[in-house]
């Protein structure tokens, strides 16, 4: 039983990879360009948190007529990097990373003469491709999401494509400073 605390202290004292991404992307669905977003994420050995500020076109069908409106809002998400979680050596993760993401958020939409609040949740997967080898470098970010949108707006599948400024550093956490 005493070996469990020792294993935890040993794991926490090993160098861990810290990764951050900041950048814009466009949203695309079956009808073409539907919006854009600016995202920032921070990951610690494969587990990450992200925030997205977005502008997107929403659609809903009312009496056989498709209505379109623009929504503004903020999402908060979690990300799990496959290679960040399982790899001891993070060289591959620099050039190619893949993982799962999920988030929720909300904002406002003005479909007619009034302002409505709208919420949505999504799950999906992502791929990150590093474009050159330095501590700070641009990455091509690709993501696919299935979004469930409230207030009778149509659910949808969205692809995001963007460029982010990525920073990777290996850090050793300190338990006592």
Q: Is 145 exposed, middle or buried (0-12, 13-18, 19+ CB in 10 A)?
A: buried
- What would the pLDDT profile of 54-104 be if each residue is shown by its tens digit? 999 998 888 888 888 899 999 999 999 998 888 777 677 788 999 999 999
How big is the CA angle at 43 (ends 146 and 56), to the nearest 5 degrees? 35
- What would the pLDDT profile of 104-146 be if each residue is shown by its tens digit? 999 999 866 788 889 999 999 999 999 988 889 999 999 999 9
Residue 97 and residue 81 in contact, taking contact as beta carbons nearer than 8 Å: yes
CA distances from 37 to 26, 52, 63, 114 (A): 6, 6, 31, 24
In the chain the first and final C-alpha atoms are separated, in Å, by 27
CATH number of 16-171, picked from 2.40.50.1020, 2.40.30.270, 2.40.160.20, 3.40.50.920: 2.40.160.20
Q: Considering the entire predicted model, what is its pTM?
A: 0.81
Domain edges within the chain: 16-171
């Amino acid at each position: 039983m005493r070996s469990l605390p020792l294993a935890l202290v040993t794991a926490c004292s090993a160098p861990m990879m810290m990764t951050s991404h900041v950048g814009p992307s466009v949203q695309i669905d079956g009808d073409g360009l539907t919006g854009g977003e600016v995202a920032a994420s921070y990951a610690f050995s494969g587990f990450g948190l992200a925030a997205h500020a977005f502008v997107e076109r929403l659609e809903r069908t009312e009496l056989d007529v498709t209505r379109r409106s623009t929504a503004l809002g903020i999402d908060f998400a979690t990300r799990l990097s496959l290679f960040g979680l399982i790899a001891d050596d993070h060289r591959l993760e620099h050039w190619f990373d893949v993982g799962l993401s999920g988030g929720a958020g909300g904002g406002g939409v003005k479909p007619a003469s009034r302002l409505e609040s709208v919420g949505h949740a999504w799950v999906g997967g992502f791929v990150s491709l590093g474009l050159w080898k330095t501590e700070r470098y641009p990455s091509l970010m690709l993501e696919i999401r299935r979004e469930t949108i409230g207030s009778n707006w149509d659910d949808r599948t969205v692809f995001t494509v963007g460029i982010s400024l990525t920073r990777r550093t290996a850090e050793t956490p300190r338990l006592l400073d």
